[in-house]
Amino acid sequence: MRKVPSKGVFLFVFMALVAAHAARAQMIDDKMMPPVLIAPPPPEISTNEDALGADDDDIIAPLSILQVPVLDIADEDENDGAVKPMLVGTFSLLHKVTAKVQQIQLLSGQEYAIGDMSLTMHDCVSTPPEEPPETKAFLQISEFKAGRDKPLFNGWMFASSPGINPMDHPVFDIWPLACKTEDGLVFTGEILPPVSDAENGVTLN
């Protein structure tokens, strides 16, 4: 007698075939799909506060405008108590009518009268002995004429070149010869601090 398979066997075989077909279809889909690259997460960007907290010594703050260094220049009054000495300028005065030349001396800052002229020497400088001789003086000269003072000269005169900046006057002509201090020393423009009594060898009681 021939045995006929039961319905349960057919159902089991059918389910197995369906599962095998689904598994094969999934394998085909996986092989045809392009590979997916998994990118790493982006690095975290640290904030300024984190950077400052990590290492404060490696961070240089920007220079502020108010922090720019300023060069202080000391005044002449602060130069160790140095005081400009009283200067004595020696000049040649020419009388153009009589052709007579005489030497006159002017103290710095003091006004002198020669005839109707008024002369004031404000400054003078002579070169040291080891340099070529030169003396320049800053003079202010005026003439009292027609009831008022008429300016004749205001500026520097040079001993080596009297024609560079001469005084325009019909009778007198003047040019510098030397510039010295009251002690008779040549004044070269260098202002020295006052010498103390101890340096002079004077003992104060």
Mean pLDDT of 129-139: 92
Q: What is the pTM of this model?
A: 0.54
Q: CB–CB of 150/170 below 8 Å?
A: no
Compute the average pLDDT of residues 40-47.
56
Q: Say if CB 108 and CB 124 are below 8 A apart.
A: yes
Choice among 59-63, 122-126, 139-143, 183-187 with the minimum mean pLDDT:
59-63
Dist CA 193 CA 190 (whole Å): 10
Total structural domains in the chain?
1
In this structure, is residue 107 part of a structural domain? yes
- C-alpha of 112 from chain center: 42
Is 64 a residue whose pLDDT tops 50?
Answer: no
Instruction: Reply yes or no on whether the pLDDT at 102 is more than 80.
Output: yes
What whole-number distance in Å separates Cα of residue 45 and Cα of residue 135?
A: 75
Do the domain assignments include residue 156? Answer: yes
Instruction: Please give the residue that has the higher pLDDT: either 112 or 35.
Output: 112
The reply to whether 13 falls in a domain is no
CA atoms within 13 A on the CB side of 133: 7
Nearby residues of 21 by Cβ (< 8 Å), 6 or more positions away = none
Burial 63-84 (b: 16+ CB within 10 A, else e): eeeeeeeeeeeeeeeeeeeeee
Structural domain span for residue 101? 87-181
Rounded Cα distance between 95 and 102, Å, is 9
CB atoms inside a 10 Å sphere around CB 182: 11
